């Protein structure tokens, strides 16, 4: 199963953080602000089937990679887990009945929902 752990800004050790897929990069000081305003979140992904698939991805690439994996999998439902500080959320993402919101604001809403239960 694919899982993704939120990389909280205070856990970033390097000066910058970069998405392994789209290369979007921010200084860690900017990431704090962007994260707090739900503009971007980075995730450390891992897969129980593919240990080498571990990567740092932004939320957009994370969602895209799940969509892609689902399509590769014959449009089957893709369960995946997102770990936040205190919670573990399991999503069942089906490309044809996507409950991930569409539109420009959607990643922001997705992140807002994800972190709603953080303190
Ligand atoms: Zn990205």
Residues 6+ apart with CB under 8 A from 40: 24, 26, 31, 34, 58, 59, 111
Q: Ligand 1: distance of its center to the CA of 63 in Å? A: 9
- pLDDT at res. 10: 94
Sequence ranges of the domains in the chain:
2-114
pLDDT tens sequence for the chain (119 residues): 789 999 999 999 999 999 999 999 999 999 999 999 999 999 999 987 777 778 999 999 998 888 888 888 787 777 889 999 999 988 877 666 555 555 555 677 888 888 887 86
Q: Ligand 1: distance of its center to the CA of 66 in Å? A: 13
Q: What is the pTM of this model?
A: 0.84
Q: Ligand 1: distance of its center to the CA of 58 in Å? A: 4
Q: Ligand 1: distance of its center to the CA of 40 in Å? A: 10
Cα distance between residue 69 and residue 73, in whole Å: 6
Q: Ligand 1: distance of its center to the CA of 96 in Å? A: 23
Nearest to 20, CA basis, from 49, 39, 50, 46: 46
């Amino acid at each position: 199963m694919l899982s993704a752990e939120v990389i909280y800004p205070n856990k970033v050790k390097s000066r910058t953080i970069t998405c392994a897929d789209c290369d979007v990069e921010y200084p860690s000081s900017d990431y704090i602000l962007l994260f707090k305003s739900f503009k971007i979140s980075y995730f450390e992904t891992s897969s129980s089937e593919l240990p080498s698939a571990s990567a740092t991805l932004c939320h957009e690439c994370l969602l895209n990679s799940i969509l892609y994996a689902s399509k590769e999998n014959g449009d089957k439902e893709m369960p995946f887990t997102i770990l936040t500080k205190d919670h573990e959320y399991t999503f069942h993402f089906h490309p044809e009945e996507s409950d991930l919101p569409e539109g420009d604001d959607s990643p922001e809403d997705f992140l807002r929902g994800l972190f709603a239960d953080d303190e």
